[in-house]
Amino acid sequence: MDEKTRELLRELQNGFKLETRPFLRIANKLGYSENQVLQTIKDCIEEGIIRRIGAAVRPEKMGHSCNALVVWQVAADKIDEVGNDAAGYREISHCYERECPPNWPYNFFTMIHAKTDEELKEIIQQIAQKHELSNYKVYATEQELKKTSMRYFPEESDGNDK
Amino acid sequence: MDEKDREILQMLQGRFPLDSEPYTKIGDKLWMDEVSVISRIARMIENGTIRYVGPFFDSRKLGYTGCLAAINVPEAEIEKAAEVINQFAEVTHNYQRKGEPNIWFTVIASSEARREEIFSQIKSETGVKEILKFPAKKLFKVKVDLD
């Protein structure tokens, strides 16, 4: 990635301004045309550097106040089946197979956002029953201690990392 | 938050228009004018429902290495531990959870060496015996898409 692209992506991660032509502002600031900015974003999506464009929301502000990390023990040959099914739930935002430390049997992680305790339990039970998972653990969210977006493309390390 | 807000949020979460006038485009799809779209988004940012509108990067594609980690500390030391953990810009999420371990956080570092450096500093400054590390093996989904 060249320095000009890095500079643009660094600018974009400040978030889009709420104005008629947010990309034009960025283009003018960095000496691009508006089209070049849009094209670069599209290219980065194509290359997978950008996963998606859009909003980050706070689930608890949307009435999803019963949030829990649920960790499951899933056999290796069932991971894809369970993973794809869990990913289909709107209430599940994060869904990963993870490497585990010794003495930790739970290799599948789901972050569930429900509106009520009942709903949370229902989702957990549905998944458990459907895939015959009996060994899992619920870590209810007690308190958010930090939530930010990562700042990529730091200026001081220009050219050093890839 | 009313039905219109929800419709806007849905579009913002999934289908942000890559267009020179994105908010007009959103308005066109939802039968609203641009001014209403922008003022509704502004209100949702102000009340904290939306915390960011922009691109989401794939940290791995950028050469970063991420890891979920957890430690267990006594209830009375949670605040202090949170302070230690949160001092790092590379820590993006940190939650207190019920059960053991009770503090769960994510680290996104520019190298594995840097990641381990952060872990060992957290370990020594909090005094915990161990940090449980759960690096991702396979991603099935990462997307908050609620209504």
Picking from A51, A57, A79, the nearest residue to B9 by CB comes out as A57
Q: Do residues A8 and B56 lie in contact, with contact meaning Cβ atoms separated by under 8 Å?
A: no
DSSP B106-134: EEEESSHHHHHHHHHHHHHHH--S--EEE
Q: What's the mean per-residue pLDDT of chain B?
A: 94
* Domains defined for chain A, CATH in brackets: 3-55 (1.10.10.2890), 59-140 (3.30.70.3460)
User: In this predicted complex, what is the ipTM?
Assistant: 0.86
- Residue bearing the bigger pLDDT, B147 or B69: B69
In three-state secondary structure terms, A121 is helix
Q: Give the model's pLDDT for residue A156.
A: 61
Chains A, B: CB contacts within 8 A come to 229
Block means of pLDDT (10 residues each) for chain A, 162 residues, are 90 95 96 96 95 88 89 97 96 96 97 96 98 98 92 66 40
| Distance, CA of A16 to CA of B54 (rounded, Å) | 5
Percent of chain B with pLDDT over 90: 89
Q: Give the model's pLDDT for residue A63.
A: 81
Q: Give the model's pLDDT for residue B1.
A: 84
Among chain B residues, the shortest Cα distance to A137 is held by: B99
Residues of chain A contacting residue B14, judged by C-beta atoms under 8 Å apart: 52, 54
Contact across the interface for B92 and A149, Cβ inside 8 Å = yes
Q: Give the model's pLDDT for residue A2.
A: 87
Distance from CA of B105 to the nearest CA of A (A): 9
Distance from CA of A81 to the nearest CA of B (A): 11
| Distance, CA of B118 to CA of B132 (rounded, Å) | 13
Placement of tokens 């872990």 in the chain = B119
Contact across the interface for B38 and A50, Cβ inside 8 Å = no
B65-134 to CATH, choices 3.90.950.20, 3.40.50.10490, 3.40.50.300, 3.30.70.3460: 3.30.70.3460
Q: Do residues B110 and A161 lie in contact, with contact meaning Cβ atoms separated by under 8 Å?
A: yes
Q: Do residues A74 and A131 lie in contact, with contact meaning Cβ atoms separated by under 8 Å?
A: yes
Q: Do residues A48 and B61 lie in contact, with contact meaning Cβ atoms separated by under 8 Å?
A: yes
Picking from B20, B94, B145, the nearest residue to A23 by CB comes out as B20
> Structural domain boundaries of chain B?
3-46, 65-134
Beta strands at B136-142 and B132-134: parallel, antiparallel or unpaired? unpaired
How does pLDDT run across B49-99, given as a tens digit for each residue?
999 999 999 998 999 999 999 999 999 999 999 999 999 999 999 999 999
